[in-house]
Amino acid sequence: MVGQQHEALPRCRAATAVGCVVCGVFALIGCGTAALGHVNPWPASTRQPLVVGSIELRPCPSVPAYCGTLDRPLDPTGVIPGRIAIHFEYYPHSAPEKPVGTLVATEGGPGYPATESRDDYLDLFKPLRRRHDFLLMDNRGTGQSEAVNCHDLQTAEKWTVELTAACGNSLGNRAPLYSTAYAADDLAALLEALDIRRIDLYGDSYGTYFEQVFAVRHPNFLRSIVLDGAYPLNGTDYPWYPSYAPAMRDKFNIACRRFEPCARLPGSSIDHMLPVLQQLRLRPLPARAADSDGKQRTFTADASQLAIVMYGSAPAMATAREFDAAARAFSDGDRAPLLRLMAETASGVDSRDPTADASKWSAGLAAAVMCQDPPQIFDMRLSPNLREADRDRAVAQRKLMHPDSYAPFTIDEYRGMPLDYSFLDQCAQWPVAPSSHPASHVVAEDTRYPDIPALVISGELDNITTVADGAAVAAAFRRGTQIRIANSFHVNALPRARSGCGAEIVRRFIDTLEVGDTHCAAGVPPLRLVPRFALHASQLDPATAAAGNGADAAQLRWINAAVMTAGDVLTRLGGNSSGQGVGLRGGTFRIVNDAPITHVTLTQVRWTEDLAVSGSITKPLARTGTVHASLQLATADGQTGEIIAEWPEGIADSRAVISGNMAGATVRARTPAP
């Protein structure tokens, strides 16, 4: 795969209302200065050009860096004519003495440009930049390096085999020239032009694939390498993504085992969803639900739609937090929570920004890399009509020999997911590459990795670039070390990670070439899951009364429902890009980012059918801090109340402290934080 899941190839969403870009699937883009409404304090007019190596760099217009382009042959072998301008940004070190080295970061996707993620990388490397220069390059075909724009594929809501093939046909003999191999050669040529002898290279998601290709092709440039969310270049059964299903099952089962209300239920989390899968197999249903932006989406709820929720991890937190309870609710006749996750996933796995701008993410580049670089289940040397027959033969054999490859889903149900997530079919009609640039020849099969310090960071709950994949990558380096971050998802050294542990380890490794103390990797708190979804507040446990409480058990159930409503809204922030959304069963909310705090306003939001919650919530953008909710409650039977609830983020067993009144009764209570 080029991405296990590209997200295997991991993928990211556009800038959210809180100023961030979030991922489901290979890359993780961060909070940008543009998203925060940042005024550039480094106007280009006040800075002079800078000569580095043989290139004169100009001040970038909107960031504190120097920009340049490197003129490169489109085809380094010279067989196909043409040139391409490779864009890059150079950030000089801040100390007066000479730098000790150069940091380079490369982005995921494939299709995302590194420069769009500059703020995440600057955040990661901030403590090191006093003594290190920093370099970003947009890979050929991405960002400002002449982004590939296959219009129909770029603007389509759903990839098809035909659209992918049309993109390849439009690129013609240029299609193989967007291979990771040539992008890696571009970076080597850039380092040579800038007279940079050795680098510390960081990559996330698909960026780890790029790094491995670079390491094999240009080992002498590397001092160290960090692979965050890594998957190997090849391996046993590679085209079928054999670690994908076990990691998906582990994600839900581990999260359930570590959350007491879920753990005490009979069976595993996967056991809890099996009745839903059986229902959807027997009776797929037309569905309509709102995504994280409040946009209504129409779809068919079937087994494949359930599969993409479980495999797609987009939005990662909402899916892991809610899926078990949503599946149980669906089995009991309450379809809304699971249908909402399906709608949110449909939005979350869409890598385009709202304008479908190819310079933000290039679908054409993603297709070219996916159909050129990784091995496929069919022979890419065959013409498309013969290749499809080869695919059908391979699938039939797989069904016979390994029918449980994607359990609990069948192979056909897995193939029913979006093409850029299931991978098996997307290149079936891609044009045959010329013999001068054959597919799946990025590196030799028996290639050896260089003897350099290599650090692999893997999220324990990552089913996009799995722990098993990361272990295989670490083993390929003689001095490779894998660090598994507990209770964490895809990409763990950038600002959107659940913990700062990954970033801390990465910085120490680059500075000293030693991994050092990694105790923090085991200390990331377990996820707080939704214990259950309820149609009525009476179905919930009451909040626990504290000293001075005058509310009865029924009223404390309303209080618990109100806190759960607040938590439900906050969970939507991870996938929101519009600044507004809708409640599970009605009402609306709006989001305003005023760094370092996110402000959310609720208007008649209903998490249960019989309670409307209005008011405001403030949440720190940082991983830690206190959430403050000031809420007004209105019940279906005419009761009203006002409460203040506060709880700390970033710690295990967090509890909300609640005060206020409900129907005239004084409320003093505690309840698990949502």
Q: Pairing between strand 588-594 and 580-582?
A: antiparallel
pLDDT tens profile 164-179: 999 999 999 999 999 9
Q: How far is CA 184 from CA 106, 216, 443, in A?
A: 10, 10, 11
Per-residue pLDDT band for 549 (boundaries 50, 70, 90) equals very high
Tokens matching residue 348: 């979350």
**What residue type is assigned to position 610 of the chain?**
D
pLDDT tens profile 302-338: 999 999 999 998 889 999 999 999 999 999 999 999 9
Distance CA 152, CA 135 (A): 33
**Is pLDDT above 80 for 11?**
no
Contact between 641 and 523 under an 8 Å Cβ cutoff? The reply is: no
pLDDT tens profile 257-286: 999 999 999 999 999 999 999 999 999 999
In this prediction, residue 27 carries a pLDDT of 31
- Tokens 């050795």 locate to 198
**What residue type is assigned to position 95 of the chain?**
A
Buried b / exposed e along 481-504 (16+ C-beta atoms within 10 A):
bbbbbbbbbbbbbbbbbbbbbbbb
pTM of the entire predicted model? 0.92
According to DSSP, the residues that pair with 597 across neighbouring strands are: 594, 620
The angle at the Cα of 378, spanning 373 to 380, to the nearest 5 degrees, equals 50
Of 467, 512, 510, which is closest to residue 488 (Cα–Cα)?
467
In this prediction, residue 3 carries a pLDDT of 41
Run of H or E residues at 124 = helix 118-125
The rounded radius of gyration (Å) of the Cα atoms in the chain is 25
Contact between 368 and 168 under an 8 Å Cβ cutoff? The reply is: yes
Distance CA 248, CA 71 (A): 43
| Beta strand ranges found along 92-150 (DSSP E) | 101-106, 132-137
Tokens matching residue 272: 């809890």
Long-range CB contacts (< 8 A, 24+ apart) of 161-166? Answer: 161/419, 161/425, 161/426, 161/428, 161/429, 162/429, 164/367, 164/371, 164/419, 164/426, 164/427, 164/429, 164/430, 165/384, 165/428, 165/429, 165/430, 165/431
Length of the chain: 674
**Is pLDDT above 90 for 444?**
no
